[in-house]
Each structure stands twice: as C-alpha cells, then as structure tokens.
Structure 1
Amino acid sequence: MNELSQVETTEDRILDGQVTLLQPRDGYRAAVDPVLLAAAVRAEAGERALDLGCGVGAAMLCLGARCPDVHIDGLELQPHLAELARRNVEANGTADRMRVLQGDILNPPSELELESYAHVFANPPYMSGDRGNHPPNESKKIAHVEGDADLEDWVDAALKFCRRKGSITFIQRADRLAELLIGLEGRAGEITVFPLWPKDDEDSHRVIVRARKGIKSPMKLMNGLTLHNDDGSYTDAADAALRGGALHLRGEGK
C-alpha cells in the first residue's frame, strides 16, 4: 500500500489564500516559519532556487507566488511529504517551473546540480538529536529533530549547491545561531542576521540568517522583525510578509 494512502490530510491556504496546501492532519504542518523564510529570499526573474527539506512545499510555493519567473527545485527526505509537495505544485499550477525530488541531503539525487542555484534556502530541524521531549509522531519527529544530518551538514549542503556569490537563507532557533555562524565562517560573507521577536518585550526564539557564498563582506545584525502586537495580532510588517510581500526588516534597505 502506498504510504501516502494511509495519511489523512487537510487542504489549507496560506499567503493570504494565494497558495493551496495539502498537508497531513497529524505530524508536521507548515506554520509561519516557511512563509517568512520564503519572504527573506531575494530572488529575481530567471534565477534558479533550491528548497532543502521542502516538506509539503510551503516555502517554495510561497517564493514562487511572489517571484513567478523563478524556477524552484525542492528536496524532501520523507516520501509521503515529497509526494504531497508534488501534488501541491500541480494544484497551484506551478509544475512548469517547479519540481520536487525525494532524497537525503547527505546523499542527494543526481538531478540536483552542484553550484547551480542562485538561492538555496532551508527550514532544517530545530532540535539536535540529544535534546529531550521528541514529538511522538514519527514524521513530525523527523521534521523537528536532527537525524543523521546535523546543522553543519545542512550548511554544507546549501553551500555545495549554491553558485558563487549566490545566497543561502536559513530559519533556525535563536539558540543555535552560533552553530550556523561557525558553519559559514570563511565560506560565506555578507551574513545578515534577522531576529524574529514574538513581541517587542519578549526574547527572540527564531532567527533568519542570510549569507552569500564566496563573499567577504562583514556580518550585519539587524533590528529584526516583531511578529505580534500586544493584543496578539500581527504587526504591519509581519502581516505584509505573511500575505506575500518580501521581508523588509527594520534597518535593512528596500
């Protein structure tokens, strides 16, 4: 029996209804992180982009909605999520410029060409394998907890597929920022760190890190993006990004 036939799914809409998303009812479900990740990728017409660990395709579809002339590949480890991503690509009418491959970043499929992408982006597992309280759902655990590939491997893969002077973009837990920066040291520059603040008076739990391969420009630490107002509603800047705009953060030029 096909693994996907055993998965109960829901049909949801993100990006202010621009993207239809079929995803598991239980297990990993796309939230705001892949939407914000896509909003931080500065892609231009005619370029190629790669979504490592694309899940059901949320981030790549969001990027494709904002940048309709960009060709995007997605790589996903879990077969049933890769199949859902393919169905989502078809459902959103983007099969002419998107494809989804199933495979491991440690042993990627040969269809992915080294140093051929202008942009590589990823929402890798947030938890290292030695942390406790793993999700009971196996698929969700694979999405949230590192397996054979650790964060250094994700950075290595992104740099391997990114062309020289191209960009790599990650969204990750704030307490793992040092690991990301160590992985990028000497290999990428023009590093920009965007903290994501739940509210103005709360600590950052997530960061978006963007860098360019083979560039030596110094790092910038931006003011970041506050997601919520005091009443729980989204701030204007966060709302604009979640509705399909590029992510312009305080302190960053347009």
Structure 2
Amino acid sequence: MTDADTGVTHDAFLGGRLTLRQPRQGYRAGVDPVLLAASVPAAPGQHILDLGCGVGTAMLCLHARVPDLSLTGVEVQADYAALARLNAADSGADAVVHTADLTDLPDAVRQQTYDHVIMNPPYFDRAAGAAAADPGRDLGRGGPVGLSAWLDCGIRRVRPKGMLSVIHPAGQLDLILSTLFGRLGSMQVRPLSARAGRAPSLVIVQARHGGRAPLALAAPLVLHAGAIHKDDRPDYTPQIAAMLRDGIKLPMQD
C-alpha cells in the first residue's frame, strides 16, 4: 500500500532540504513550526524536547539547521507520532517520539531535563468555536489541554541554563509571561506581523532557566511584503523567505 493509498502526502520544507510525510486530511504544518525552529539557539550535541510535535516539523527543521542534536518528541495522536518517527528516520535524526499526553508524560521524559523545550500549542479555544470535521485537525487546532498546562509541562522539563521556546497568538502573551514569571527568566519576545503597519498576530517567546536579564521586547518581524496579497504566489519578505527556504536563524533581537 502506498502513501497515496493511506492519505499521506510528502511535502518539502526548507527549500527541499527536508521532506515530511503529512496526512492529506487533518492537521498540516504551516510556517509557524518552521519559524519556531528558526528561533531556537541550539548547539550541536544538545537535547531537544518538542511537546506536541505532530509529524515532527519543528524539531526536524531545527535538526536540518543544527547537526548532532538528540531529539525527543511527544505527540498524543498515534498516527501523527508514527509519521514523526518515519520522518525522523528519513532525515537521519537521532530521535525518539513518544505517543503520550503531555499531562501524563512517560517516565523516559519525566525523568529527563532538556537544553531546549519547544512547543507550538493549539491556537483555538475549543469551547469558543465549532469542531473541525477531521478529528486530527480538530485536536491540532484546539485540544483539551490549556495553554497554562502546556507551559507548566515545558517549564518542568527545562534543565538549568536551558531554554523554553513557544510560538502562539499575540493575544495570549499576557498568559505566557505570567506563567513564566518567577520560574524562568531572561524572557525575550519577538512579535510577528502579517504585514507592515498591522498589529502582531503571533509572538515567539523564549525564557531561560536561571536567567536574570530583564524582559526584552523586539520590534515585529513582518512576514509578507506589500500592503495586500495580490495573487496566489508567495509574498514573504526576503528575510522570512530565507528562513523558510534556507533555514537561516530567526533573530530574537534586532
């Protein structure tokens, strides 16, 4: 049976440097996990935990930029976790993917801490809108575990001097910062705006275990060129296009 028979596509990321299996129907990775990965200041030999890893997009994009990482993924949906394992094997990554809920992590994860914990939690309030027709897409868009629980889980897994990185809608920045306050420090916030002059729609927030530097708020990175999207062609700014195509690092400060 081929991937086409099972409803799986092969999609290119980072200008073709990375090819990922994704479900044809259901939750499919966009640019957010790619930008999250681009922001992480990992170094070779470090240990990475990707909470809610899906098919492995963020951690494998990070692996494509930084060699010799030890990757651990946690994904509650078994079919997505299975695809993440296949994707990791195809990319040559040193990766273990656990099928588990982040509120009930396996011992192998709970007994470890990590240099970097990364996450791209569901954006939508499940109680505030209609469910998606596909169960996988529905859970990926708005699962039953709230943002505070995601952050709490991540904070507990960051080792001393390690870092937590999260991408999320800007409207939840107050909750992110209040949850991190007093537990992680040296917080950095990079807003992301769809177009110049628009309010940020997303933020990437990073915080360090034991960090003491004051909060640093950077200017927004603009994702798209021009005031409007004029046709079907991608219109990313050159800087964002280089991150998505070439995997260059996303600067958290100007």
1:137 is aligned to 2:134: yes
Residues 182 and 64 from structure 1, CA distance in 2 versus in 1: closer, same or farther, beyond 3 angstroms?
A: same
- What pairs up with 1:145-224 in 2 under 5 angstroms? 145-147=142-144, 149-224=145-220
Residues 100 and 6 from structure 1, CA distance in 2 versus in 1: closer, same or farther, beyond 3 angstroms?
A: farther
Per-residue CA deviation, residues 68-88 of structure 1 (Å, 9 max, x unaligned), is 121111110000000010111
1:111 is aligned to 2:79: no
Q: Does the CA-based 8 Å contact 2:12-2:20 persist in structure 1?
A: yes
Question: What's the offset of the Cα at 1:115?
Answer: 5.1
Identity of aligned residues (%): 39
Give 3-state SS (helix, strand or coil) of 2:16's partner: coil
2:240 aligns with: 238
Per-residue CA deviation, residues 115-143 of structure 1 (Å, 9 max, x unaligned), is 52000000011112321133222111111
Q: Distance in 2 between matches of 1:66 and 1:81?
A: 23
Question: What's the offset of the Cα at 1:203?
Answer: 2.0
Q: Distance in 2 between matches of 1:171 and 1:225?
A: 13
Q: Does the CA-based 8 Å contact 2:200-2:220 persist in structure 1?
A: no
1:14 is aligned to 2:13: yes
Question: What's the offset of the Cα at 1:202?
Answer: 1.9
Query: One-letter code of the match for 2:163?
Result: S
Q: Does the CA-based 8 Å contact 1:114-1:162 persist in structure 2?
A: no
Query: One-letter code of the match for 2:117?
Result: V
Query: One-letter code of the match for 2:241?
Result: D
Q: Distance in 1 between matches of 2:111 and 2:198?
A: 40
- Equivalent pairs counted in the alignment come to 245
Q: Distance in 2 between matches of 1:115 and 1:208?
A: 24
Q: Does the CA-based 8 Å contact 1:115-1:160 persist in structure 2?
A: no
Q: Distance in 1 between matches of 2:86 and 2:130?
A: 32
Give 3-state SS (helix, strand or coil) of 2:74's partner: strand
Query: One-letter code of the match for 2:164?
Result: I
RMSD after superposition: 1.7
Q: Does the CA-based 8 Å contact 2:184-2:211 persist in structure 1?
A: yes
Q: Does the CA-based 8 Å contact 1:173-1:206 persist in structure 2?
A: yes
Question: What's the offset of the Cα at 1:7?
Answer: 4.7
2:232 aligns with: none
Q: Spell out structure 1 runs of 4+ moving beyond 6 A.
A: none
Q: Could you state the TM-score of these two structures normalised by the residue count of structure 2?
A: 0.92
Question: Mean Cα displacement is larger for which, 213-222 or 168-177?
Answer: 213-222
Q: Distance in 2 between matches of 1:113 and 1:5?
A: 37
Q: Distance in 2 between matches of 1:100 and 1:186?
A: 30
Question: What's the offset of the Cα at 1:191?
Answer: 0.7
1:27 aligns with: 26
Give 3-state SS (helix, strand or coil) of 2:126's partner: coil
Question: What's the offset of the Cα at 1:224?
Answer: 2.3
Query: One-letter code of the match for 2:208?
Result: R
Query: One-letter code of the match for 1:211?
Result: A
Unaligned runs of 5+ in 1: none
- What pairs up with 1:117-132 in 2 under 5 angstroms? 117-132=114-129
Q: Distance in 2 between matches of 1:171 and 1:133?
A: 23
2:250 aligns with: 247
